[in-house]
Amino acid sequence: MTVAGGSDARALEQTHSRIYSTYANLEWGLATMLRKPRGNALPRRTAGYLLGIAAAASAAIAAMIVLDAAMAEAVTRSPRAIHFAFRELTDFGKSGWFLWPSGLLLLAIALAASGPLPHFCRLVLAVLAVRITFLFTAVALPGLIVTIVKRLIGRARPFVGGHVDPFLYMPPVWRPDYASMPSGHAASAFAAAIAVSLLWPRLRIPMLVYALLIAVSRVVLDAHYLSDVIGGAAAGAIGALMVRDWFAARGLGFVVSVDGSFSRLPGPSFGRLKRLGRSLLVR
């Protein structure tokens, strides 16, 4: 009984220690992301972002006046097969497709780093954690802001009340039928496209196609007006770039050159990932 009791006590102590270490790793990661910028590394891109916001706002206003009503009416006459295809596709524009996997991966990395590991394994895990944290933040932050803003704006979705009225607003109201501007799906899709492209440039074209298809699906399904999609795409893209700036100013995943340009720090090689996997399996 004494031996068994001692074993149980040691196992419980090890479990508590592992949980505490996992929490400490997550806390350290958050503190690292929120630390002060390195010297004068904070990029100055306010003018560029303001120009992008102004261009997107101008395009959205033009679409609101000229195209929104006509397109909302036109897509109701599109073939049922197109509606079915886009109805199946549009669900992949939800941010959860990126947030849940990346969040669980971050938790797994924090758990893996809580035990004894060689130094190179900890370095590989740290590099992976930075990249995954960037992806999570670049999708989550614009999505959260858009979720709040769209309900404060209170723009009605197409055919609310049985007719098309691009200028029907009820601000502020916390109702899904009055949460059309900007499109949350478009924001998440374009934020994910920018974030993934910054981390893995070879995926730039597939991610752009993905984001465009999600944006089109919202108009085809009459879930949003064209101007909503333009606003959401701009919010997601600019938001992801601003998150990149934040990480680069702290030397996390990206660096800012003297001329103000950005460079992506290299990720772990396939050989190091294999060594990491073997170390975790035999631990």
pLDDT in tens, 226-279: 999 999 999 999 999 999 999 998 889 998 877 777 888 887 777 767 777 777
Strands (E), the chain: 254-256, 262-264
- pTM for the model: 0.89
Same domain, 65 and 190: yes
Same domain, 50 and 157: yes
Supply the range of the domain harboring residue 185.
42-282
Same domain, 75 and 199: yes
Same domain, 29 and 57: no
Same domain, 123 and 21: no
Helical axes 204-220 vs 184-199, angle rounded to 10°: 180
The yes-or-no verdict on residue 38 having pLDDT over 80 is no
For residue 253, give the nearest of 244, 241, 37, 194 by alpha carbon.
Answer: 244
Residue 70 tokens, joined: 């006509």
Contacts of 202 (CB under 8 A, 6+ apart): none
Same domain, 4 and 137: no
Average pLDDT over residues 145-156: 96
Same domain, 59 and 22: no
Mean pLDDT, the chain, whole residue set: 87
Same domain, 26 and 140: no
Same domain, 74 and 156: yes
Same domain, 27 and 66: no
What domain count does the chain have? Answer: 2
Q: Which amino acid is at 184?
A: G
Interior/surface letters 235-247, b for 16+ CB within 10 angstroms, e for the rest: bbbbbbbebbbbb
Kindly report each contact of residues 272-279 with a partner whose C-beta sits within 8 Å and lies 24 or more positions away, as own/partner: 272/120, 272/124, 273/124, 275/120, 275/121, 275/124, 276/120, 276/121, 276/124, 276/125, 279/117, 279/118, 279/121
Same domain, 10 and 52: no
Average pLDDT over residues 163-189: 93
* The pLDDT of residue 236: 98
Same domain, 28 and 80: no
